[in-house]
Structure 1
Amino acid sequence: MSGAVMAADVEFDQYVEGLKQEAQQKGISQQVIDEAFADVTYKPRAVKADRNQPEKRLTLDEYIPRAAPAWKVKQARELYRQHHDELVTIGKQYGVQPRFIVALWGVESNFGKFTGGYSVIDALATMAYDGRREDFFRSEAMAALTILEQGHISASEMKGSWAGAMGQCQFMPSSFLAFAADGNGDGKKDIWGTEADVFASTANYLSKSGWDDNFTWGRQVKLPKGFDLSIQGRDKDKAKTLSEWSALGVTRYDGSPLPKLTNDIDAWLIAPDDENGRVYLVYNNYNVLMKWNRSYYFALAVSHLADLIY
């Protein structure tokens, strides 16, 4: 082992001691601290993953078929039918259409198959020590310790992504504390292995973030020639009602008129790929999906998959 590597290990160990002290000050029990940090290891692969996130940008025409391929649509429909009664019950409780719960499950973790193999404590301690977003990851580490303190899972079973996103709905620890729900009434919030808890947690996140199950997410639309795209975007002042968009010549993608609602609804025009790519009118539910993940592409993949689940 080189001197530089040994020095880095010593520095990481010292950093972990600081995390332990902070946890003690925040009221985390010594037993939980000891268990959580017993085998804590610096994970250079996590830092590499953070710094080497893909820069090549796909168009929506390329991205959506990859994010929601035919096999995933088929699987989503099968799982929707398999869990139908449970999903309907949870959907009614939280005011969220079940197809969106299944779609998020599919896009986030391939229905629980890809949840990450990192120890969450390892990942968060590594990312905090790396320093690029230290305050964020240090705060998430304290949230992860709080989850262990509450007894929802053991430290050895708390697995997630290189960034510390956990379980089948890929919640960061702070999101877990804010939104995780006990879907089967056993007193635990197990987003790793209990599907009822995954569904309830997903629905609770959407509900508390402003979801309205009276509406869908939006639709792909067609613009008239010469349309002024400067009015696109999700800023509050760029919202117009469907009837106002219709008056500007916006139509459904097939060219038919936009729906006429008894109670008109605000919508925003978005063109993530520019005027030559796909264009959408989105409702507030789409804005809620953007709170989950601040990617236009992610929210459109979830929306597209949800539209194909029945």
Structure 2
Amino acid sequence: MKKFAAMVLSLGALYLAPNTTYAADEAGFADYVKAIKAEALEKGYTEATLEQAFAEAKFYQRSVKADKNQPEFKLTLDTYLPRAVPEWKAKQAVEKYNEHKDLLEEVGAKYGVQPRFIVALWGIETNFGSYTGGFDVVSALTTMAYEGRREEFFKDQLWQALTIIQEGHIDVAQMKGSWAGAMGQTQFMPSSFMAYAVDYDGDGRKDIWNSMGDVFASAANYLKNAGWKDDVTWGRQVQLPEGFDESLASLKTKKTLAEWQALGVRRMDGSALPQRDDIQASVVIPDDKNGRVYLAYANYDALMRWNRSHYFVAAVGYLSDRIRFPRQ
């Protein structure tokens, strides 16, 4: 099997030993914060917003460490999926689905997204809201901008975070996220929040930290805008014929199910593919042809817009299937 760099950041990477020193350190951080605040004032943010946002600003050495040393995993899907979706998580996903069923079905109907996928994303991203990250988002984003490797990107995210604070969606003390600034139960970066977060409960705040209606609707709104289709699933594991042309295995290559059938692609039990002329799909080989192979539908592409990792998409899809067909 090939070796694969990690494409999904483990939440465990949020909690790192703080003792390694890098080129970007605390020495100039206070001056950088002053410069950031001056620039923010020029952009129209109020003194009150900035005093609130930066009152407890701190340099996160752990963020710099995580960015410079993202872990590499030598895994295949067959070893990754049991870790990403252990039995206890699959069981909990069904319990959470049933606990919030009425709200999920309401949100799913409004946005055209099957509720099981909302729950699956919630489970993979933050273990159903229990691991959202303990980093102050403004400090994390300022640290990453100060570190300098991707200053423009993280400064843009910081401006968006300040807008979220200025609009009153969340108190700064509750604005917690990952070392890179991904926030709340959906792990939205601030730019995704501004584009897709929803005030579903109508309280005037888009609260992806505490409001389940806002959490579910924001996730569904993201998927809707990514091209989600509620009349098909995400994909299916398939068998390839001997001698299959692997150059066809790409999300850029779309064929009808009948065309893939004619090329010898079959369901895992060897039976024919579904008879639907309206579905375009791609063959995806995340590892190699000896590992898991998927026939990826439009919703696979939508999930890739959320996180450009075949492992992430496979984990979300697998968990959604476990919700749909729970084991007794």
Of 292, 297, 306, which residue of structure 1 is paired with 2:306?
292
The match for 1:222 is 239
In the aligned structure 1, how far is the partner of 2:288 from the partner of 2:87?
26
The counterpart of 1:149, out of the listed 134, 150, 166, is: 166
CA contact (8 A) 1:243 1:264 kept: no
CA distance in 1, matches of 2:54, 2:231: 46
Tell me the C-alpha RMSD between the 2 structures: 1.4
Q: Which residue of 1 aligns with 2:7?
A: none
Equivalent residue, structure 2, for 1:98:
115
Cα distance in 2 for residues equivalent to 1:167 and 1:201: 11
SS in 2 for 1:308: helix
How many Å apart are 1:118 and its aligned residue?
0.4
CA distance in 2, matches of 1:293, 1:247: 31
Shift of 1:17: 1.5
Which aligned pairs between 1:1-310 and structure 2 lie closer than 5 A? 8-235=25-252, 238-261=253-276, 263-310=277-324
Q: How far apart are 1:264 and its partner, in Å?
A: 2.6
Question: How big is the shift at 1:155?
Answer: 1.1
- Cα distance in 1 for residues equivalent to 2:224 and 2:207: 19
Provide the C-alpha distance between the structure 1 equivalents of 2:74 and 2:143, rounded to a whole number of angstroms.
Answer: 28
In structure 1, what residue type is equivalent to 2:265? V
Q: What TM-score, normalized by structure 1, do the two folds share?
A: 0.95
Residues 221 and 252 in structure 1, CA contact (< 8 A), matched pair in contact too: yes
Displacement of 1:171: 0.3
Structure 2 Cα separation of the partners of residues 299 and 23 of structure 1: 37
Give the match's secondary structure for 1:219: strand
- Cα pair 1:180 1:201 within 8 Å, conserved: yes
- What's the TM-score once normalised by structure 2's chain length? 0.90
Tell me, in whole angstroms, the C-alpha distance in 2 between the residues paired with 1:63 and 1:114: 19
Give % identity. 58
Structure 1 stretches of 4+ moved >3 Å: 7-10
Distance 2:75 2:173 in 1: 37
Quick one: structure 1 residues 40 and 287, their matched pair in 2 at CA, closer, same or farther if it must change by over 3 Å?
same
Q: Structure 1: 5+ residue runs without aligned partners?
A: none
In the alignment, residue 191 of structure 1 is paired with which amino acid?
A: I
Letter in 2 for 1:293: N
Q: Do the aligned partners of 1:12 and 1:42 also contact (CA within 8 Å) in 2?
A: yes
Separation in structure 1 between the aligned mates of residue 220 and residue 116 of structure 2, nearest angstrom: 11
